[in-house]
A and B are shown apart, each in its own frame.
Chain A
């Protein structure tokens, strides 16, 4: 192979500079920035050309100005650099004069680096070999810069991938955290913090409004008030409505190392997802609150039911020469029916069956009032009419407009069988005589608390002979409905059942009556309280 003298000179030159070349290979790839790289390159070039002035420049884009990185102090040196033309063919221009070499090298990112070597002694000259050697070192610089960019891109890619993993992880974590119902931080505040962090927003806010009214406004970061960012070109927002409130999430000024930039599509997706998590959390909190309230109400109802069960007689008093039995089956936990048999100090007994309009706790409270007032008034001798009038007044005061109580009250003198009765708007009681005739006891007046006025009640007198029976009941029996929506009393009148079932024991009658009603209603739900009181004179 033929070797030209020129080549031999170049090989000789490079051979003498082999250490400089090796040093360049070591130094340049370790740099992290272009500035570092060019500075290290300057060290290598100075080793290669010790007695020379060196100027190094960088031009980020064509048509911009050269930026000085290493300068010798020579004025106007950058003007000697000529940019290479074309896109790929010419990436470098090399201008040589008697005592200077200028190289403008296009780099992989389409920026340019400019190198000017000039002799310190005007009489010194650069050779062609010098120019070629420098050219080779510029290639080394170009390759090192390419490697630097690869490393930087790889680092950015790893950072970006890690950040995506972080975003997904944080989205899951935030979902779990905002779903926690025991935390002191509001879910919207937590979501705002996470949204700002994950999207690199400089700040943001959550605004809760009810119509035009501002309910709550949370700023991030807190402390100094946020300047008005409504016109910021870099902002995203999302909103949802819940329980009459509108929750608006806004993020401002997506940060980068180069300044504020527009938010990305994924930022909007993240904000939407976090807002949806808050929405779900608020719904869950609302449902939990409702469930707790319901639980509390059920507990209160259970307490009320217990109290009411204590109001109703566990066992009825024994009445010599008579047999008495009663029952109360509430349709819901707390019923509005009431019955009792109260012995008086003079040996007589008061029998009562009452029904409060409506059911539930409010009806139960009125039953309690009736029980308390009734027992209080019966502590002393009192006529049935007086008792009814007093009950009418006090129940009227204790109840709301739509509440009233119907009642049948009977005053029994056991020895004589005399019964004085008063029917306050209640179903008529049935009196069954030994001759199997049934008489309705209806005399009385209006239901208690039906009208806000004193009412002149009337009483009825009958005498129970041995074998006679008395049945007091509420409309829960007569109006018990089967699955075909037919009422018990329409199907087979209660009076007929009363007349046709005459067991020796009062309790047997009650049990038979309930069984008959159950058989009639079948699977139909019990629509009203069922109460009955049965008195048999032996």
Chain B
């Protein structure tokens, strides 16, 4: 069963990696956005969101993720999702998220994808 939300973050190769655990809802989405904004203000433009620990996402949580994607797109930055549960991946696909954000199998691949772009 999906647990209460928590997250961890780290910087890898000038890329913010946020790993979530639990239900990405209003609380979870807000926590991700706060963590992102904290680093965005310091110039971070490349973000990996590792959803390995999150099997359930609701549309409120998703709206926070969309906001992050929009902010990044405005500054030519990018967000990449990794370690997606098939259900969550399908959800993000239907919502059209991958038109504006990337997806990779692992965090390592996600971080490398930015290196390829640059």
For A170, list chain B residues within 8 Å (CB): 87, 91
Given contact pairs A166-B94, A170-B91, A193-B55, A257 touches B60 in the complex (Cβ within 8 A): yes
Interface contact A221-B3, CB-CB below 8 Å: yes
Interface residues on A, range: 20 to 34
| Contact among A163, A166, A223, A256 for B4, CB-based, below 8 A | A223
B94 CB → nearest A CB, Å? 5
For A166, list chain B residues within 8 Å (CB): 59, 91, 94-95
Contact with B along A214-246 (1 / 0, CB 8 A): 000011111110000000000000000000000
Interface contact A162-B2, CB-CB below 8 Å: no
Interface contact B58-A196, CB-CB below 8 Å: yes
Give the CA-CA distance A166 to B91 in the complex, in Å. Answer: 6
> Is A159 in contact with chain B by the CB < 8 A criterion?
yes
B116 CB → nearest A CB, Å? 29
For B25, list chain A residues within 8 Å (CB): 200, 202, 255
Give the CA-CA distance A255 to B59 in the complex, in Å. Answer: 9
Give the CA-CA distance A223 to B23 in the complex, in Å. Answer: 11
Given contact pairs A193-B1, A222-B2, A257-B26, A162 touches B95 in the complex (Cβ within 8 A): yes
For A201, list chain B residues within 8 Å (CB): 58
Give the CA-CA distance A486 to B87 in the complex, in Å. Answer: 66
Task: Please report the number of residue pairs spanning A and B whose Cβ atoms sit closer than 8 angstroms.
Answer: 76
Interface contact B96-A162, CB-CB below 8 Å: yes
Given contact pairs A193-B1, A200-B59, A223-B4, A165 touches B26 in the complex (Cβ within 8 A): no
For A394, list chain B residues within 8 Å (CB): none
Chain B: which residue is nearest A222 at the CB level? B1
Contact with A along B72-111 (1 / 0, CB 8 A): 0000000000000001001100111000000000000000
For B114, list chain A residues within 8 Å (CB): none
For B66, list chain A residues within 8 Å (CB): 159
Interface contact A189-B1, CB-CB below 8 Å: yes
Give the CA-CA distance A256 to B27 in the complex, in Å. Answer: 11
Interface contact A224-B26, CB-CB below 8 Å: no
For B22, list chain A residues within 8 Å (CB): 221, 223
> Is B31 in contact with chain A by the CB < 8 A criterion?
no
Contact with A along B11-38 (1 / 0, CB 8 A): 0000000000011011100000000000
| Contact among B5, B58, B70, B96 for A197, CB-based, below 8 A | B58
Give the CA-CA distance A219 to B4 in the complex, in Å. Answer: 11
Interface contact A32-B70, CB-CB below 8 Å: yes
Interface contact A169-B4, CB-CB below 8 Å: no
| Contact among A163, A169, A189, A221 for B23, CB-based, below 8 A | A221
Interface residues on B, range: 20 to 34
Give the CA-CA distance A224 to B22 in the complex, in Å. Answer: 12
Chain A: which residue is nearest B4 at the CB level? A223
Residue of B2, B3, B60 with most chain A CB atoms under a 10 A cut-off: B2
> Is A173 in contact with chain B by the CB < 8 A criterion?
yes
Contact with B along A295-325 (1 / 0, CB 8 A): 0000000000000000000000000000000
Give the CA-CA distance A201 to B57 in the complex, in Å. Answer: 11
B91 CB → nearest A CB, Å? 6
Interface contact B26-A255, CB-CB below 8 Å: yes
Give the CA-CA distance A166 to B58 in the complex, in Å. Answer: 11
> Is B63 in contact with chain A by the CB < 8 A criterion?
yes
> Is B69 in contact with chain A by the CB < 8 A criterion?
no
Chain B: which residue is nearest A256 at the CB level? B60
Give the CA-CA distance A422 to B38 in the complex, in Å. Answer: 101
Give the CA-CA distance A419 to B26 in the complex, in Å. Answer: 95
For B55, list chain A residues within 8 Å (CB): 193
For A32, list chain B residues within 8 Å (CB): 70
The A159-181 residues at the B interface (CB cut-off 8 A) are 159, 162-163, 165-166, 169-170, 173
Given contacts A197-B58, A255-B26, A256-B60, 19 further A-B contacts (CB under 8 A): A166-B91, A173-B87, A189-B1, A193-B1, A193-B55, A198-B58, A200-B25, A200-B26, A200-B58, A200-B60, A202-B26, A202-B27, A220-B1, A221-B2, A221-B22, A222-B3, A223-B3, A223-B22, A255-B25
| 16 examples of A-B residue contacts, CB within 8 angstroms | A159-B95, A166-B91, A166-B94, A166-B95, A169-B90, A196-B58, A197-B23, A197-B91, A200-B25, A201-B58, A220-B2, A221-B23, A221-B56, A222-B3, A223-B22, A255-B60
State the 4 A-B residue pairs at the shortest beta-carbon distance, nearest first: A222-B1, A223-B3, A255-B26, A223-B4
User: Which chain A residues have a beta carbon within 8 Å of chain B's beta carbons?
Assistant: 32, 158-159, 162-163, 165-166, 169-170, 173, 189, 193, 196-198, 200-202, 218-224, 255-257
